[in-house]
Amino acid sequence: MTQVSRFGDWPEHVALGLLLGLFAWLRGNKKWTRVFLAMLVACALAGAVARVIKITTGRARPSVRTEIVWNGPRLSEKYHAFPSGHTAASTAFFAVLCFASWRIGLPCLLIPLLIAFSRMYVAAHYLSDVVFAAMLGILCAIATAHILKIRNLHDQSADHA
């Protein structure tokens, strides 16, 4: 679970998104290039929003021994439990894929679920941290998909037929 937790951080998602985007671009597929770039935007947005909330709330991680669980704004990583940035970024990343192609994206949503579980397993987050983060990720994916006009690619191909 420690390795899953490490893999679930944003750099790995960005690397995957860039590789897939580059591959789609080299193949001349504008639709999929746009989807992969939208996945990166959603991931970055969710990560940034989660980071601001983490610093602002200052919730102690489960591994921290303290009587006070909510501490107010803190810069120490020990007090950045709420929400899970790993879960928010991963959920946003794969939710955009789900909006573009539910057949591909739906099974990929197991990845953020596994990451969320791993974050609780390594005592970095509480259940409420990962649940809120998943909701945040979905909201960021919805906003990104709406702004960048990402929708089911199967519907788009039917429109042009």
pLDDT score, position 150: 78
Please tell me the distance from the alpha carbon of residue 119 to that of residue 127, in angstroms, as a whole number: 9
Q: CB under 8 Å to 49, separation ≥6 — which residues?
A: 88, 136, 140
Residue 123 region by backbone torsions, left for phi larger than 0, else alpha for psi between -120 and 50, else beta: left
Please tell me the distance from the alpha carbon of residue 33 to that of residue 27, in angstroms, as a whole number: 9
Give the pLDDT confidence of 37-48 residue by residue, as tens digits.
999 999 999 999
pLDDT score, position 71: 62
How is the chain split into domains, by residue range? 2-155
71 phi, psi to nearest 5 deg: -120, -5
Give the pLDDT confidence of 123-154 residue by residue, as tens digits.
889 899 999 999 999 999 999 999 888 777 65
- The candidate with the shortest Cα–Cα distance to 80, out of 34, 32, 31, 47, is 47
pLDDT score, position 157: 47
pLDDT score, position 107: 94
pLDDT score, position 110: 94
Task: Report CA dihedral (73, 7, 44, 126) to the nearest 10 degrees.
Answer: -40
pLDDT score, position 63: 78
Helices (H), 9-29: 10-26
pLDDT score, position 161: 39
Residues (pLDDT < 50) of the chain are: 157-161
Beta bridge pairs of residue 59: 70
